[in-house]
Structure 1
Amino acid sequence: MMRGSADFERIEDGGGTLRFTGNLSLACLRDLPDRLNAIEGPVAMLDLSGVERLDTVGAWLIHRFARDHQSEVRGLEPDEQHLLEQVAAAEQPVELPPRPASPLIRVVGEIGEAVTKSAGTMLGLLGFLGATLIAFWNVFTHPKRFRFNATIQRFEVVGVSALGIIGLMSFLIGIVIAQQGAVQLRQFGAEVYTINLVGRITLRELGVLMTAIMVAGRSGSAFAAQLGTMKLTEEIDAMRTIGVSPMEALVVPRTLAVVLMMPLLGFYASVVAIIGGALLSWATLGIPFVTFIERIREVVPLTDLWVGLVKAPVFGLIIAVSGCFQGMQVEGDAEQVGSRTTTAVVQAIFLVIVVDAFFAVFFSEIGWI
């Protein structure tokens, strides 16, 4: 054996003793663990008086052998004895990680978790809608609580400041609809029906729907971020402390502004989209602008305009309630503000599209087609 390498010899003294010599450290153990594993039966004593050095690996080797063979350990220095005791105390059963579930079970579990979370969110959203309606009633019955200046400011932020981006978006959408419609209708020699396509789809659907999506991205996210920051800095708690209702002071002005401005913005978007379609029709199809407008008046029924105006305030209510609800849910840290803002936008757009589908079915059933 190399000088300093760990070794042992067996002394038959009735009960059996193993006398260890050398260096019981990781670098010098060599084949000692295999040789110890080959020993069968009980060993009465482990004599470590001849050991030059003992490290954690060596102490674990001695402890495991003594445990498995019911052996008594003797001959250690106080520091080495303390190390052996620490190793023995640290021996704890290792909890194995659970076996991964099958892909099918995992997918079903994730779907169930998502459904449960969505149901809880919708329940909370309905509760928040009820609290908003109660706040509106309290303001209506106590007009002095109405915050006129805050509401006018929200009118400007939600409506006036959005005119530019909504107008540009609607103008380009009108051009795209007219261009794509003309390309397809030209195959049948029916380019003139591009006017019908632009007029009906913008007034009835796309004008108010694209406006709702844009307002959700602008105002819904702003509501969530503003209220979330106020919740994080405990301003909302301070308002409650001084007797001011956050629902009446913060939620009511924002909701009222969006609900009242959405019909105006939707009508504005539809008109701008029609103008965009008229300009493209004049440039590519040779249809004069005046002829385009006169044709719009002939082929677009007034019910299309009413459909858009009826849907607009409902979409506005959804956007405002979703943004304010998510803002009020912020807790913990600033990261929550970002995640809740994103959730507010996604939730508002999703609900707007779902409600728009219900409106489409409803208006078809009552004959507004």
Structure 2
Amino acid sequence: MASQSTTSDPAAGGQPYRVLGSLTISRAGSTQREIEAMPDPLTIDLSGVEKVDTVGAWLIYRTVRDRGAKVVGASKDVSGLLDQVAEADHPAQVRPEEKPGAVRVLDELGEWVAESGTTLVGLVGFLGSVLIGVAAIIRRPKRFRLNAVIQRFDVVGVRALGIIGLMSFLIGIVIGQQGAVQLQQFGAEVYTINLIGRITIRELGVLMTAIMVAGRSGSAFAAQLGTMKITEEVDAMRTIGVSPIEALVIPRMLAAVVMMPLLAFYAMIMSLLGGGIFCWISLDIPPLTYIQRLQEVVPLHDLWIGLIKAPVFGGIIALAGCFQGMLVEGNSEEVGIRTTNAVVQAIFLVIILDAVFAIFFSSIGWL
């Protein structure tokens, strides 16, 4: 390996500082000390350089910048690297410039609106991909994976019975207790049954079930598909000619659509049971009177409203979960972010759709 050399009399100046061999990080310390010992005006001769890296180029450039040194004999590659180092030499702002509060709020609001629009467009596009996959399965029924759907039935429906039943039972008790407290002021405790029956069957039963399914199954869908994306299982499926939409997304969506009405009906029954027990214990309303009163005050179309909304909510929850899961890229942290987004997005869409359904059914006279 060639060595570096200087003039035999550094103090006298005259001859340039010559660099021989490698100008790399391993020689940066000794090169810097030798350059610092050289008097001004300084000329650096790089004609003997065989190898240079970024550290060596930075050392030469800094000497030129700070001491006004002159570089001679540099090859085309060395000159190019010096030019790149010079272009990269600009002040960096460690802390971003703080904007006024109003501007910052508007900036964040604009980013949120833009991101929401992009997500909505992506969700609609993903729904289109699912519909194309459904059409392909209809044309070729043998591609339908029944076992995958049955497994999702177990995950979405059977294993959720415990938590949804307990939650609905307690909500029925809470509705009865809060309603009775207010109605007792007017001596109308018997109308607590009206409150429990209508709000549970028409709205709260299916809505709370949808929220629970979104937090439980929607997040699971996003996490499962996101993990498969990271481990490149989805890419492997595409490589062997298997559509991820048909194999992963459609079974989950079908399971959610089918199981949501059943779970919603189960939640309604458990809520009515909880409210009935409260009325029996606290208001001395016998169970037979409670059942008869429910039949009188709860119209049948309330039940149909809840059961019509349930599969739509289930489809939206599964769609949001699978969509966010398929967007995962990079690392495991992305899985957590997308899982959170899936739950928030699903609950938001469910509430929006519930408001749309409320307006629609009121407009057709189902009050």
- Shorter-chain TM-score tier: 0.7 to 0.9
Map 1:155-234 to 2 at 5 A: 155-234=153-232
Partner of 1:322: 320
Q: For 1:308, what is the secondary structure of its paired residue?
A: helix
Hey, what's the Cα distance between the residues in 1 that align with 2:39 and 2:128?
67
Hey, what's the Cα distance between the residues in 1 that align with 2:334 and 2:222?
10
Hey, what's the Cα distance between the residues in 1 that align with 2:308 and 2:39?
82
Instruction: Check 1:245–1:78 CA distance in 2 against 1; reply closer, same or farther (3 A cut).
Output: closer
Q: Where in structure 2 are there 5+ consecutive unaligned residues?
A: 1-10, 12-33, 43-58, 67-88
Partner of 2:38: 81
Partner of 1:333: 331
Q: For 2:128, what is the secondary structure of its paired residue?
A: helix
Deviation, 1:81, is 2.6
Deviation, 1:102, is 2.2
Q: For 2:38, what is the secondary structure of its paired residue?
A: helix
Partner of 2:47: none
Partner of 1:26: none
Hey, what's the Cα distance between the residues in 2 that align with 1:306 and 1:189?
32
AA in 1 matched with 2:153? F
- Greater shift after overlay, 219-228 or 91-100? 91-100
Deviation, 1:98, is 7.2
Deviation, 1:130, is 1.1
Instruction: Check 1:89–1:107 CA distance in 2 against 1; reply closer, same or farther (3 A cut).
Output: farther
Partner of 1:349: 347
Map 1:1-369 to 2 at 5 A: 79-81=36-38, 88-91=63-66, 94=91, 99-369=97-367
With normalisation by structure 1, the TM-score equals 0.77
Hey, what's the Cα distance between the residues in 2 that align with 1:111 and 1:312?
32
Hey, what's the Cα distance between the residues in 2 that align with 1:260 and 1:311?
12
How big is each residue's C-alpha offset from its partner over 1:154-211, in whole Å with a ceiling of 9 and x where there is no partner?
1111001100000000000000000000000000011000000000000000100000
AA in 1 matched with 2:140? H
AA in 2 matched with 1:266? A
Hey, what's the Cα distance between the residues in 2 that align with 1:192 and 1:116?
51
Hey, what's the Cα distance between the residues in 1 that align with 2:153 and 2:285?
38
Q: Where in structure 1 are there 5+ consecutive unaligned residues?
A: 1-48, 50-76
Q: How many residues align?
A: 297
Partner of 1:36: none
How big is each residue's C-alpha offset from its partner over 1:196-254, in whole Å with a ceiling of 9 and x where there is no partner?
00000000001000000000111101100110011111111111111111100111110
How big is each residue's C-alpha offset from its partner over 1:136-157, in whole Å with a ceiling of 9 and x where there is no partner?
1211221101001110111111
Hey, what's the Cα distance between the residues in 2 that align with 1:203 and 1:228?
35
Deviation, 1:334, is 0.8
AA in 1 matched with 2:209? T
- Greater shift after overlay, 104-113 or 201-210? 104-113
Hey, what's the Cα distance between the residues in 2 that align with 1:78 and 1:236?
57
CA radius of gyration, larger in: 1
Q: For 1:100, what is the secondary structure of its paired residue?
A: coil
Partner of 1:69: none
Hey, what's the Cα distance between the residues in 1 that align with 2:310 and 2:345?
17
Deviation, 1:290, is 1.2
**Considering only aligned residues, what root-mean-square deviation do their CA atoms show, in Å?**
2.2
How big is each residue's C-alpha offset from its partner over 1:302-341, in whole Å with a ceiling of 9 and x where there is no partner?
1100110110011001100000000000000111111111
Deviation, 1:110, is 1.1
Instruction: Check 1:94–1:294 CA distance in 2 against 1; reply closer, same or farther (3 A cut).
Output: same
Instruction: Check 1:238–1:286 CA distance in 2 against 1; reply closer, same or farther (3 A cut).
Output: same
